[in-house]
Structure 1
Amino acid sequence: MKRFLLHIVGLLLLMPLYQGCSTEKNTFASRTYHRITSKYNVHFNASESFESGLERIESSLEDDFTRLLPIYKESEPAAANLVKSDMDYAVLKASKLIELHSITEKPKRRRRRTRRYQEFASQEEFNPWIDQSYLLIGKAYFYQHNFMAAIDNLSYVLRKYPDGEARHETQIWLLRSYSELERFAEASEVIQAVQNDRSFPRKLERDLAIATADFYMKQHDYDEAIKFINIALGKTFWRKQKARLQYIEAQLYEELGKPMLAAEAYQKVTRMNPDYRMAFNAKINAAGMFSGEGDAEKIKKELNKMLRDKKNVEFRDQIYYALGNIFFREGNRDMAINNYRKSVASSYNNQFQRAQSSITVADIYFDLQNYRDAQAYYDSAMIIIDDTYPNYEKLSSQYRSLSNLVENLFMVEREDSLQRIAQMPDNERDAFITRLMREEQERQRDAESLALQGQRDQGYYRSNRYRMGMGSGQQGAGWYFYNPQTVAYGQVTFQQRWGQRKLEDNWRRSNKSTVSMDEMDEMAEMIDSSQIVVRVEDPLQKEFYTQDLPLTDSLMALSHDRIRDALYNAGKIYKSEFSNYERSAESFEELMRRYPNNIYQLSAYFDLYDLYELMGDREKSDYYRNLIISRFPESKYAQYLINPNFFVEMQAR
């Protein structure tokens, strides 16, 4: 600072002598004046504005540890808007410097022209801060994500000032600009040019290594990226940046499927004394690299210690998830599921973790053929994720199939439950409903108590207590009223009609334009009020429990039709969507046991024949084959079973 003030004082003292100095004169005095003015006035102000923008990025953009960190924070889309005003000012000042202080006029010819003088006189620019200003403009455009403008300015520096002091730094920024635009062939040419340049300064080797690592990361060539990160780590002494590079290296090892190296790298991060969030995530990820070998108890002890730390309340979902992973790799599936479920239940702010934990436990339930719970946890994830999520199409397809299956399974149990209640004597039914209403009152009191303690929102608690395994386990006739699938069935029906909708105003409208009063009146006129059946939604009213009961012969017949259709649909879904032949056969067998002469009889027989054929049960397969041929001899199914070429021959006619 003292040196800077001395320069300014000197400049002020010399100002009167240089009043006549213009860029059209190339004298020692004019060169000195414009050089000092450029460095300590215009370029200084431009650089200050530029640095202010960098500080804004550093203080405003937080790393998202749920994904692979970018090498540079400024690569994030949000960075451009953060620094726009600072970079605009830097471009303005640097452009002003070029306009007012560029000296291209040749100096007066000397009588004695030494080689040194000839080299000096052959320059196209005599103010050394001009190329630096073009470089600064290129960097400012880079931070604004105007990469084409950055490339134009940076390329100009290399073309116009090939021997200038700014050329090596310019090459690094040109490499970065090409990488951001994914113009990797041109970026590779820059790397090659730098590698062939023996004059490249050692002080820039670290920046070059980081830029090259970024180049390879953007191409998903993580092995090469790690090589250059290691070079950069050896030349980086700023603790915060070193920890970040080490964290990225650990993530890359994880991406490459090298858990031991990843764990080692994460542990290095924790020893670098990084900020709390990075240290926490490094510990969690190191624990997550447990492969079934080593001291699992030590890792679990550390994670449980982290759970007890009040500073980690908002991170408990990640800790439970890490514990779940360890138990899963140990082969303790029940404890793994328990911790994954706790992760979902404790995830409030971290939507990525909530989705990841939900999908993980859903996958386990699916493998266990626990399709109800699998659907419930996929549902929790699908509300959060969009089509950018990894394997979204596969997840979405599986979720839809499970939702259709659960809808049909629920329909069977719902109608069975309603039929059992409907068939009770009146006094027994009334007593049963009174007991359910009393239990609901107690539930609501519990929920309100929890809400007052700040532990759960009442609505969230009531809608999720059973899904998360907190229900009373009530079975029998009351199943329909207090079961998680009641909620799931409503969600499936809603989504089939409206699709995935966020909770917001006018959610019914895919095009949420304003609805006028005239439109509302018009819609009201279209509705026949006599057709409206108002449902009771309050579980403290008796009608809530009686409104769906099949208390007449016609309603009972409709209830049986629903069960019949649902059993048939479930059998089809088990077979075609999940290739679960055993469950499919059970569903069709149940259909035929309960409704022997139903409308699906022939189709169900053929499916049973086919299923047992697929399962290698020849005895049962032959049984249903013979049943079809003897009972439905004229059917196409029978003709096919007698002559496997039946359909081919029929098409050829």
Structure 2
Amino acid sequence: MKTFTKASISLLLVVLITQSCSRKKDNFINRAWHSVGTEYNILYNGEIALQQGLETVNNAYTENFWELLPIERFEANTDEVRLGNKAENSDFERAEEKATKAIQKHSMTINGKEKNPQIDEAYLLLGKARYYDQRFVPAMAAFNNILNKYPSSDKINQVKVWREKTNLRLGNPELSIKNLKRHLKQEEVEGQDLADISAVLADAYLDIKQKDTALKYLDTAAVASKINAQKARYHFIRGQLYNEFGKKDSANMAFDQIIEMHRKIPRAFYINAHLAKSNNFDAETGNKLEFLEYLTELEENRENRPFLDKIYHRIARYHQSQSRDSLSEVYYNKSIASNKTLNNDKVLFARNYLTLGDMYFDRTEYKTAGAYYDSTLTNMVEKTKPYRVVAKKRKNLDDVIYYEGIARANDSIIDLVKLPKEEQVTFFNDYIKELKVQDSLAKEFEKKRADKAASRSGSSKGSGFAGLTGPGGRTVPGLPGSNSGSNSDFYFYNPTTSAYGKEEFFKLWGERKPQDNWRLSAGRKGASSEGKGGETAEEIVTQLELYDPEYYIKKLPSDKVILDSIATERNFAYYQLGLIYKEKFQEYILAKDKLENLLKNNPEERLIIPSKYNLVKIYELLGQTDEYEIAKNNLIAEHPDSRYAEILRNPNSQLAKDQNNPETVYENLYRKFEAQAYAQVISEAEENIKRFEGDGYVPKFEILKASAIGRLKGFDAYEEAVNYVALTYPNSEEGKRAQDILKDALPLMKSKEFLPEDEGNSFYVIYQFDSAQKEEIKTFKDKLSKIMERLPYKDISLSEDVYNENTTFVVVHGLTYLTSAMGFGPTLDDYTLDNEKPITKPYITASSANYAIIQRHKSLNEYINPE
């Protein structure tokens, strides 16, 4: 009986389960079975997978508080719209699979209606998984499916939010605004749903640059949201927008609301709210002591340690605003050090390095400033406007560093030479004191290094591990000789201190040979001079001599020719610095200082007039009216025939604007270069180089002259001319371009070897003329052009090319085959009309590659008559 009962119950259960699995029967058991199975099995696991995927996305995302925060903490790839069904994130793929499984196995569509109340949630999960995987078009299909099939779903508000978020990602903000505003009119929405809808509307208005309207919806979202992290985000964006509108009080109220939430929100929002509020402090009206105490409290709070890099940066900016530069520099460096160990925030790195670079630039320590600008650029995004600004400033700094180095060195020499003997002795005695301190430190360092090396050597012997290596010959970590451990304090095991030490050594001693008594001058690599009869004589300098001021005094130049050369070089450096500070950096005070000092130093005639003119313009830019009038009248009176005097007398004249303007002269000359008037370009370039001597356009005339020489005289003459530009103007744009040509282009152009003609894919027909036969050349070209119009060749053309001073080529381009080029004469005869004279002038054929070699090396004779 018992067996029968158990069997009956089992059979009944099987029947019930079988019946309840059916998706075609609309009864309570079936609906309950599929609803529970969907919610607590498949969708539960799908939601877990979705959350795991979101955690991965969030961990990879870094908040950028330096810019306007995004309303949604999500970074979409705006470069492409992914349409495929293949997920890139395995967690989102799993969530999508679970949602799809729920729909396929548990959907109960009976008489056109869905009877399983969980299917709308399955579609919502499907859409979210696709959205976060950045497949927005398939995500939109999932959300639209709910709206079309389940209009009475209790998730309808959420679905509309997600659909319009997707529209935003697809670049349709106007449609998002239209749909959501209509929904708000039709439905009573409150609570978190209202917050979410308002946030999407704010995002859409930000997208179409209507920030004031976006702010209104953000206010609603911040109040309605029940999620503290969201509230903090919305309030922070509100504060940022109010700051953009110049409403600092409203911005501070928004930041205060974040600060009041304190530990209820992520610490990053709490700290950045403090820092953003501190940026609105008015140093003129506010209590500076209280403000500094406020910043110090942020610095000393142990909970704020992960954000010390930003706190140090804010303190540094405050001290800088109060002209406490040395203290601000300390904090900028502390910010850099903290950032390296904490957050590696590239924006913060760039701001710190840029500020320090500007500080050193203002102190005229250009080499150090350049190093900071280099570090700034490595932490900036390329091809952005801020990057280009810093890159340009850094590039211009090369010239400043170069000319400041010359100016300082030559000034020092000239000043030392002018000093009385006793003051020279005093100067070098002071230098010798510093040298002795350096020697003492070097000896102490050597002793410590030797002691440490001996200690390590003894330790390894006693341990019995000397020379022990691991598999593959690698040194065993942690043993003497290993550099893999980060805790080693041995100098040369630390790459940072080792590199610093090397740099300091070379600054002090130069490059030395590894030998005894390496401090002697003879120890320098290559420190030798040619003696009589070609013998090499090395100067042996004892330490006693190095400590004797007479040793240095004897090395000071005394020959007037050498001293004049040093002064001339210094004066030109001053002139260049004046122009650079004025034109490239708009540092008019520095420019004025350099040019005024130049005029006091008896400069060469070529520098006097342009220096005076640039000073006139600088006084005008600085608003120094009296100095401007005096300098202007002085230049006109003392140099009445100069082009600068003409410009100052009549600044609106065509002569002042055009004829005497080096830019206009250069442009006109360049047009002549394009017209192949190479001899004229060379001649006029030489005239203008003398005329504009000292002007920034001179290197441009030089490189144009070099190009004309190359076109007219060939490779060797071009190489010589380019080399002159590279050596004479090494820090100008043209000088650097000349260096690049010498290094990269000329080696590729050097070969004179002609290539086999049958390997070419384009061929020329070349007619030679005497360059003086202008009318004959013109008549020939007109005649040949008319006949060429009838030829069956596509894309052929005619040009007139200068070969050298005496020869001009008329060249037919664009023939595809060598046979076509060689048979060009007979082909012309076939298409010459009866009333026209045939063209009987002899011609040469050459491939395009060989024609380039002929022109480049002026090797027509070698081509016609090969040995």
**Quick check: TM above 0.5?**
yes
Per the alignment, do residues 391 and 552 of structure 1 end up closer, same or farther by CA in structure 2, a change over 3 Å counting?
same
Per the alignment, do residues 255 and 16 of structure 1 end up closer, same or farther by CA in structure 2, a change over 3 Å counting?
farther
Are residue 289 (structure 1) and residue 280 (structure 2) matched?
A: yes
Per the alignment, do residues 237 and 405 of structure 1 end up closer, same or farther by CA in structure 2, a change over 3 Å counting?
same
Distance 1:388 1:15 in 2: 70
Are residue 321 (structure 1) and residue 313 (structure 2) matched?
A: yes
Per the alignment, do residues 191 and 14 of structure 1 end up closer, same or farther by CA in structure 2, a change over 3 Å counting?
farther
Distance 1:132 1:463 in 2: 67
1:142-291 correspondence runs (5 A): 142-198=131-187, 200=189, 202=191, 204-274=193-263, 275-291=266-282
Report what 2:71 is aligned to. Answer: 71
Deviation (angstroms), 1:552: 9.5
Deviation (angstroms), 1:174: 0.9
Report what 2:50 is aligned to. Answer: 50
Report what 1:591 is aligned to. Answer: 598
Report what 2:380 is aligned to. Answer: 385
Distance 2:196 2:620 in 1: 66
Per the alignment, do residues 42 and 583 of structure 1 end up closer, same or farther by CA in structure 2, a change over 3 Å counting?
closer
The structure with the largest alpha-carbon Rg is 2
Determine if contact 2:167/2:175 at 8 Å carries over to the other structure: yes
1:291-440 correspondence runs (5 A): 291-292=282-283, 293-309=285-301, 312=304, 315-326=307-318, 333-335=322-324, 338-339=327-328, 342-348=331-337, 349=339, 350-360=345-355, 372=366, 378=373, 380-387=375-382, 391-417=386-412, 435-440=433-438
Report what 2:25 is aligned to. Answer: 26
Deviation string for 1:295-351 (max 9, x for gaps)? 4322211222333445555644433433355556xxx63136732652244323244
Per the alignment, do residues 410 and 83 of structure 1 end up closer, same or farther by CA in structure 2, a change over 3 Å counting?
same
Distance 1:214 1:15 in 2: 54
Report what 2:497 is aligned to. Answer: 458
From 626, 629, 637, the counterpart of 2:637? 626
Distance 2:36 2:308 in 1: 57
Bigger relative contact order, structure 1 or 2, given CA contacts below 8 A and separation 6+?
Answer: 1
Report what 2:688 is aligned to. Answer: none
Deviation (angstroms), 1:401: 4.0
Deviation string for 1:16-70 (max 9, x for gaps)? 4132566662331544433333223222222222233234445664534444333
Q: Percent identity?
A: 22
Structure 1 letter corresponding to 2:290: K
Structure 2 letter corresponding to 1:142: Y
Report what 2:123 is aligned to. Answer: 134
Determine if contact 1:606/1:625 at 8 Å carries over to the other structure: no
Per the alignment, do residues 337 and 42 of structure 1 end up closer, same or farther by CA in structure 2, a change over 3 Å counting?
same
Distance 1:359 1:648 in 2: 38
Structure 2 letter corresponding to 1:95: T
Identify unmatched segments of 5+ residues in structure 2.
Answer: 1-10, 340-344, 450-487, 509-545, 669-867
Distance 2:207 2:646 in 1: 60
Distance 1:456 1:259 in 2: 47
Determine if contact 2:377/2:387 at 8 Å carries over to the other structure: no
Determine if contact 2:578/2:594 at 8 Å carries over to the other structure: yes
From 567, 572, 575, the counterpart of 1:568? 575
1:529-608 correspondence runs (5 A): 559-581=566-588, 583-597=590-604, 599-608=606-615
Determine if contact 1:323/1:336 at 8 Å carries over to the other structure: no
Deviation string for 1:133-191 (max 9, x for gaps)? 22211111111122222122212322333333433221100111122333211211221
Deviation (angstroms), 1:260: 2.2
Per the alignment, do residues 390 and 456 of structure 1 end up closer, same or farther by CA in structure 2, a change over 3 Å counting?
farther
Structure 1 letter corresponding to 2:380: I
Deviation (angstroms), 1:223: 3.5
Structure 1 letter corresponding to 2:381: D
Per the alignment, do residues 167 and 313 of structure 1 end up closer, same or farther by CA in structure 2, a change over 3 Å counting?
closer
Deviation string for 1:86-112 (max 9, x for gaps)? 110111111122222233342xxxxxx
SS at match of 1:272: helix
Distance 2:219 2:647 in 1: 68
Determine if contact 1:409/1:566 at 8 Å carries over to the other structure: yes
Determine if contact 1:53/1:83 at 8 Å carries over to the other structure: no
Per the alignment, do residues 428 and 481 of structure 1 end up closer, same or farther by CA in structure 2, a change over 3 Å counting?
farther
Structure 1 letter corresponding to 2:254: A
Distance 1:358 1:68 in 2: 22
Report what 2:108 is aligned to. Answer: 103
1 or 2, which has the higher strand percentage?
2
Per the alignment, do residues 317 and 618 of structure 1 end up closer, same or farther by CA in structure 2, a change over 3 Å counting?
same
User: What is the total number of aligned residue pairs between the two structures?
Assistant: 540
Distance 1:335 1:84 in 2: 51
Per the alignment, do residues 397 and 239 of structure 1 end up closer, same or farther by CA in structure 2, a change over 3 Å counting?
same
Deviation string for 1:450-508 (max 9, x for gaps)? x969999537978999xxxxxxxxxxxxxx979xxxxxxxxxxxxxxxxxxxxxxxxxx
Distance 1:577 1:441 in 2: 42
Distance 2:418 2:229 in 1: 72
Distance 2:181 2:277 in 1: 36
Determine if contact 1:284/1:319 at 8 Å carries over to the other structure: yes
